[in-house]
């Protein structure tokens, strides 16, 4: 199964794996899954680390990507155009971009963010 890992789930997997749901942990562990991380998540981590809102340096991010065997999903023009018709249920621009990617790619998002549930057609794993 192909899945998109939300930024918070990546951080939990590294810093506090006990915060992951049983299902999320299984998805992260299973070699049968194709686990993808949005390039937007890397931007979010970099911005928040630079602003002092998060302590997750690039070396930790690189190691997490390798350890979890994540593929990076680039943010494309199709993803950007999906934002034009995306309801404003979620105000966080990073999350909105991840939601748009998941909808365009038709893949579930592994997330604990309750606001993601407001998006029709978005499949979630938690």
What is the per-residue pLDDT across 16-72, written as a single tens digit (0 to 9) for each? Answer: 999 999 999 999 999 999 999 999 999 999 999 999 999 999 999 999 999 999 999
Residue positions counted in the chain: 126
69-84 pLDDT, tens digit per residue, is 999 999 999 999 999 9
Name the residue among 86, 107, 90 with its Cα closest to residue 38: 107
Structure tokens at 60: 């930790």
123 vs 126: CA distance, rounded Å: 10
Structure tokens at 5: 């890992």
Range of the domain at 55: 2-125
Q: What is the pLDDT of residue 50?
A: 97
Our count of domains for the chain comes to 1
Which pTM was predicted? Answer: 0.95
CATH number of the CATH domain containing 24: 3.40.50.1010
Query: How many CB atoms neighbour CB 62 within 10 A?
Result: 11
């Amino acid at each position: 199964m192909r899945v998109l890992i939300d930024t918070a789930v990546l951080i939990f997997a590294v810093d506090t794996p006990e915060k992951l749901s049983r299902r999320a942990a299984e998805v992260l562990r299973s070699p049968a899954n194709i686990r993808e991380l949005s390039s937007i998540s890397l931007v979010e981590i970099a911005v928040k680390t630079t602003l002092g809102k998060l302590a997750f340096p690039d070396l930790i991010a690189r190691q997490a990507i390798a350890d979890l065997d994540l593929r990076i999903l680039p943010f494309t023009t199709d993803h950007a155009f999906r934002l034009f018709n995306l309801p404003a249920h979620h105000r966080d621009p990073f999350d909105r971009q991840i939601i748009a990617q998941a909808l365009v790619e038709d893949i579930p998002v592994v997330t604990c963010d309750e606001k993601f549930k407001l998006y029709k057609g978005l499949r979630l794993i938690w």
